[in-house]
Amino acid sequence: MKPRTAAKVAAQESQFDVCVIGGGATGAGCALDAQLRGLRTVLIEANDFASGASSASTKLVHGGVRYLEQAVKSLNLEELRMVKHALRERRFMLSNAPYLARAAHFLIPVYSWLRAGYYLAGMKIYDLIAGEGNLFPSGFVSREETLKRLPGLKSDGLRGAISYSDGQFDDARYNLALVETFVESGGTALNHAPITAFAFAENGKINGAMVRDAITGENFRVKARKLVNATGTGTDLVRALANPSLPSRMRPSKGVHLFFAAELFPGQDALLVPQTEDGRVIFAVPWQSRLLVGTTDDPASDRTRMLVEKEEANYLLRQLNPYLAQPLRLEQALSGMSGLRPLVAGPRQTNTSKLIRDHEVEVDQVSGLVSIMGGKWTTYRFMAEDTIDHVQRELGVPLTDSATKHHPLAGSAGFDEQFSNRIEKEYSLAADIARHLSGKFGSRALQILQLLAENASWNGRIAPELPVVQAEIVFCVRNEMAETIEDLLARRTGAQLYDWKQSLMAAPLAAQLLAQEKERKAGYTAAAVEEYSAKINGFLTELGLEKR
């Protein structure tokens, strides 16, 4: 990415065809699609890229087994169509960034033959809907094989499992790779810059937006022929800035996850818990040396607290533990995350777990604002294609094909399955560091390792038990627009998901490297560390985990 100052100048001085507001998966996808179609595009994000729902997902690239069940039970063709679209998109997501997304095996344990038949029939329909895009065929797995693949599963009464395949990915890094690819294609992207108002032409249509630079406090204007609102749960607020008479459409729903050491429930396969006390499913998924457990689904309001509440954590353990030989305890949790699903609903729909995860493109005829609402991570590309089709129609330019189906993302060129082994040997790296760098940055890891020629001490870890090296921090500050400790630890390096306490330990060094690179004022480091520590200690305290 361009340095932030250069991106800001470009954002201020250029006349754009399209301004995309919101740098989550949807906005980054829209920006890339528009830029690749030859539209001059700017992407403006209020906080950090991927700081909303797009880094808080279960990290599944999936059609949605639960949505399929809902669709079949209620004969909902719309929902079935959505599962089909998602399964088609799954293939594109996996092939466009192989270092960030992969096919994974899931097991649904069964304790009665009736249930086994029910789930197997369901998963065969899932395979059928996926068609040529199916990853591996589903099937019945014997009790012995199930316990071999998931040795931590409770064996009492176990008949076996139904296996099926879906995708798994690194959501925050995928989002960042979309932004990077957009910038490489000639686009301009700026983070920490909320849109605060719109500028209107004489005909009442919006032709620009007022932006506040949250780092410097300056305000400036961005000029664009068309503005796209991709602000997730912020969508209604932005729609109201353009046209206060628009009715609200978003029904945000909160979901939380916990992370544990992977050894506590060993195995390469993921577990799907098929029934919860509120009629949903939850997952326990091996993810980057951790076990990811989630999620919840509760309607959110202005009073919703954005952290994992103890009650929510206990709910997750209550659903998962009956399936485990050795129950997990809350005090074993290493970290967690919470997020808001930007669901879109009709005026009377309130039960968020029943809302289908479809998307809708709205063109406000009064202001001209194009809003993309709803959807899910897996369908971000399809949503972006639909949105930019609308944008081209609105601009009155010829409709061109989206070029994103087969467009490898930054870090994919030169990456293959041996990449991690190669850099481990070539740069004498510890195996966990090599795996981490190749899994987060793909072939761009080489640019990080080249920084060691500038300062050999940057090969040190930022905390003793994290696979993150100092060179990675410097790289992300110089090349990925990281502006805060949280940008670095939560989204660029993933350290905060690996381990909250280790991240607290890493914060002073991360802040110091950031301050050096950015020439921040004296006093910055202490204040930034204090702010970050207060936040993470708040997460720990809420769950009754020992503070540092």
Ligand X SMILES: Cc1cc2nc3c(=O)[nH]c(=O)nc-3n(C[C@H](O)[C@H](O)[C@H](O)COP(=O)(O)OP(=O)(O)OC[C@H]3O[C@@H](n4cnc5c(N)ncnc54)[C@H](O)[C@@H]3O)c2cc1C
Nearer Cβ to ligand X (152/234):
234
For the bound state, the minimum distance from the C-beta of residue 461 to ligand X, rounded and expressed in Å, comes to 29
Residues 6+ apart with CB under 8 A from 486: 48, 496, 532, 535
Which of the stretches 6-14, 49-57, 94-102, 303-311 binds ligand X when contact is defined by CB under 6 A?
A: 49-57
Considering only residues 19-38, where is the footprint of ligand X by CB under 6 A? 21-27
Minimal CA–CA distance to 346: which of 337, 334, 332, 358?
Answer: 358
- How far, in whole angstroms, is CA 426 from its chain's centroid? 31
Of 17, 45, 424, 486, the one binding ligand X (CB under 6 A) is: 45
For the bound state, the minimum distance from the C-beta of residue 362 to ligand X, rounded and expressed in Å, comes to 14
Q: Is there a contact between 498 and 466 (Cβ–Cβ < 8 Å)? A: yes
Of 46, 94, 242, 308, the one binding ligand X (CB under 6 A) is: 46
CA 251 – CA 269 distance, rounded (Å)? 33
Of 35, 134, 188, 231, the one binding ligand X (CB under 6 A) is: 231
The site for ligand X, by CB under 6 A, has a size of 39
Considering only residues 2-21, where is the footprint of ligand X by CB under 6 A? 21
CA 377 – CA 26 distance, rounded (Å)? 8
For the bound state, the minimum distance from the C-beta of residue 411 to ligand X, rounded and expressed in Å, comes to 20
For the bound state, the minimum distance from the C-beta of residue 302 to ligand X, rounded and expressed in Å, comes to 15
H helices of 37-142, in order, are: 65-73, 77-96, 113-130
CA 135 – CA 168 distance, rounded (Å)? 12
Q: Is the dihedral of CA 82, 394, 184, 176 positive or negative?
A: negative
Of 90, 341, 435, 492, the one binding ligand X (CB under 6 A) is: 341
State yes or no: cis peptide before 295, omega within 30 of 0: yes
Q: Is the dihedral of CA 126, 128, 133, 134 positive or negative?
A: positive
By CB under 6 A, is residue 487 in contact with ligand X?
no
**Residues 338, 343, 348, 352: what is their CA dihedral angle, to the nearest 10 degrees?**
-40
By CB under 6 A, is residue 336 in contact with ligand X?
no
By CB under 6 A, is residue 57 in contact with ligand X?
yes
For the bound state, the minimum distance from the C-beta of residue 56 to ligand X, rounded and expressed in Å, comes to 5
In the 3-class helix/strand/coil scheme, how is 467-499 assigned residue by residue?
Answer: CCEHHHHHHHHHHCCCCCHHHHHHHHCCHHHHC
Nearer Cβ to ligand X (37/62):
62
Minimal CA–CA distance to 51: which of 484, 490, 439, 454?
Answer: 490
By CB under 6 A, is residue 234 in contact with ligand X?
yes
Nearer Cβ to ligand X (378/392):
378
For the bound state, the minimum distance from the C-beta of residue 277 to ligand X, rounded and expressed in Å, comes to 18
Of 34, 43, 52, 286, the one binding ligand X (CB under 6 A) is: 52
- Give the interface with ligand X as residue ranges (CB under 6 A): 21-27, 44-47, 51-54, 56-60, 62, 194-195, 230-234, 238, 255, 295, 339-342, 375-378
